[in-house]
Amino acid sequence: MTVPTATDPFGHPLTLQHDASAAAVNGFIHGFLGYTPSILAVLPAAEVDDSLVVQTWAAVLWMFSESPAGPPKARAHLARARAANLPATDRERRLAEAVARWVDGDIGGALALHAALAHDHPRDLAAIKLGQYHAFNLGDAPTLLKLALPAVDAAPEVAAVHGLAAFGWEQCHRLDLAEAAARRALAMQPSEPWAQHALAHVMLTDGRVAEGAYLLHQVSAPWQGLTSFMRCHLWWHLALFHIELGDDAAALALYDRQVWGVDTSYSQDQVGAVSLLARLELAGVAVGDRWDALASHLTGRVHDQVQPFLDLQYLYGLARAGRPEADALLAAIEAHAPLAPAAQRAAWQQVAVPAARGLLAHARGQWSAAADGLTTALPRLALIGGSHAQRDLFEQLHIDALTRAGHLAAVQNLLQPRANAQPQSQRLKRRLHGVYAALGLPALAH
């Protein structure tokens, strides 16, 4: 009879068919928390070990593909574990149930189970981080934070737990507490990537763009060993700092060398590239044929509809490249919206549909239609998921559409408070210069 003979990195018993699988499970957990390739270790283990925990984490890895191919692969792993019917701990069974809910599209049910796991097993950091992933994709920042807080008390010696808390605090707009948590993590482990990431968010939001650029430059050496998402995303954050500082050439160079090209098939790498190219164009940078090169990797995304946050950026990238798949993706979004799972239906119907129409119009120079669509979507934009920094792309596109449509008073009302909060931003100063000059207020233009 299979009995727990090993533990995970935080002391939880692992019920395994083969003792050798413990290294793979722990590699997955360390890789998940630290964004390292050891996360992949569970897949070969799942070929020979039918235990519930091994098959569950293998299912999770397939779901992280964020593509329609993920759920069938994940279901196969969960079905294999059910067929084997090996012993498992209560914690392992509850985790498997949460993952099964996710695979079936019940994100709300999955998140509720993760919240219960965080309460009962506050050192189960992998389950907590997975719950945070769901909360993040639902735009539920308070739940993202609440999941991490019990872990801070239960596992204060683990640097990663303070990174989890830091990002939760930042998404709840508590920049002071976010910075304190991130710096606590980095004092324990200077290379902790999620804490570096949270601190980059704090500094961008706080207008400390020169300090943020310096920080990320200083800590960038180990990024080469991270998974493609975390590696590219940290460089993406550095590129944002360069854009705000007016160093557009540096940001474009980062796009070419670090942000795009590591894993051109992965969802997060693709939307990061779309987002950065769009921001560069909005800052006045000519990006050449980069849209066309990027769009060739987006054409297969037309019928994804995994997350609205992803689909919107796929659509914009296709539209900027002039691909007809942009129209097909808009139609797919419109058709999917009323059929979406309950927890995400409002995001698809009330945000994704009007935003998609606005984005397609913006990409084609239809400025009034773009402004109308984005104006409708923006009040509930958080529902689509993504971080404040990521969703800012849609706000920048909205401001650009209003500007080009001639609604300069509205643009001034939006831009000046942003510039007040970001006094180091050369990008915002340039935009305001043009707006005030067009409004006949040349003194304010300077």
Longest pairwise C-alpha distance within the chain: 82
Token pair of 112 as six digits:
């509720």
For residue 229, what pLDDT is reported?
Answer: 97
Its sign, for the CA torsion 432, 434, 439, 444, is positive
92, 53 Cβ separation under 8 angstroms: yes
Q: What is the DSSP string of 356-404?
A: HHHHHHHHTT-HHHHHHHHHHHGGGGGGG---HHHHHHHHHHHHHHHHH
111, 141 Cβ separation under 8 angstroms: no
Token pair of 432 as six digits:
């305001």
3-state secondary structure of 13: strand
Q: What is the dihedral of CA 429, 435, 437, 443, to 10 degrees?
A: -50
Residue with tokens 């569950």: 56
For residue 1, what pLDDT is reported?
Answer: 41
For residue 4, what pLDDT is reported?
Answer: 58
CA 74 to CA 87: how far, in whole Å?
20
Of 46, 6, 15, give the one whose Cα is nearest residue 28: 46
CA 350 to CA 334: how far, in whole Å?
11
For residue 217, what pLDDT is reported?
Answer: 98
Residue 184's Cα: distance from chain center in Å? Answer: 23
The pLDDT tens digits of the residues spanning 383-398 come to: 999 999 999 999 999 9
Its sign, for the CA torsion 132, 133, 136, 140, is negative
In sequence order, the 6+-apart residues with CB closer than 8 A to the CB of 421 are 207
Burial of 85 (0-12, 13-18, 19+ CB in 10 A): exposed
For residue 2, what pLDDT is reported?
Answer: 52
3-state secondary structure 189-220: CCCCHHHHHHHHHHHHHCCCHHHHHHHHHHHC
Facing residues of 6 across strands?
14
Domain ranges of the chain: 6-159
56, 81 Cβ separation under 8 angstroms: yes
In this prediction, the residues of the chain whose per-residue pLDDT falls under 50 are 1
